[in-house]
Structure 1
Amino acid sequence: MALGASPAVLDRLWSVVMSRRNADPSVSHSARLLSRGTAKIAQKFGEEAVECLIEATRGEREALIAESADVLYHLLVMWVDAGVRSEEVWAELQRREGISGIAEKASRVRQLPMSFGLRTTKIP
């Protein structure tokens, strides 16, 4: 970890994105994303996630680090748009700590909107 780097940077970045909700979209990238709506924010998050996956499969460590930062930033924008506070996510992670991933996943019932006619996120 770089000197002075800490996971607390995520909370600080969340606060910055939160503060940009009503900023001028012509001078703030966060404000611009937030002004474009949930669908566009989700699309950008998905694009960044795919770029991250590509770099991971290519074995490009530095590019993976850069793309991971993009994914985290766009995730924070999505949280702000949805009214999710970072502490809520940290609390959920803490709740899951020490629980088997298999057991935790089995305890959740996931259901996509019925308009899709699916009950899973898995592609058949």
Structure 2
Amino acid sequence: MSRQWFRQLRYPLIALAVTLTLLWTHHQRLHTSYAATTRSHTVTISSAGFLPNQLTARAGERVSLMIVNADTRPHNLSIRDLNLSSTELKPTQSTMLQFSADKKGRFFFVSDAPGYPESGYQGMLVIE
């Protein structure tokens, strides 16, 4: 009787084992993907400067900055203390700047496309 019982239940038991394995694997992927969350910001460069001019992130997060030049002159975004800089953006161009927020603090960002910080084009990134 036990042999017949096993034959009747072997496919449901195999299906249960496969389902539990897949659920465990999926749970592990979710757990590791939330460990390093991504913080996304869009920064528009206009004739008024950076909009917004203050950004926040938490230590350990991945940061994605979409930088859009809506001004009539070329600009970039540079965070010197973090050794980060976008390419020089011509009017209407945009780019993505991605980095890990590894250290806490307040970091100024500027547009220094002509080789020096432009007046009025500054902001702050706060990493908590």
Q: Between Structure 1 and Structure 2, which shows a larger proportion of helix residues?
A: 1
Give TM-score, length-normalised by structure 1. 0.18
Higher Cα Rg: structure 1 or 2?
A: 2
TM-score (norm 2): 0.18
- Which one has more relative contact order, counting CA pairs under 8 Å at least 6 apart? 2
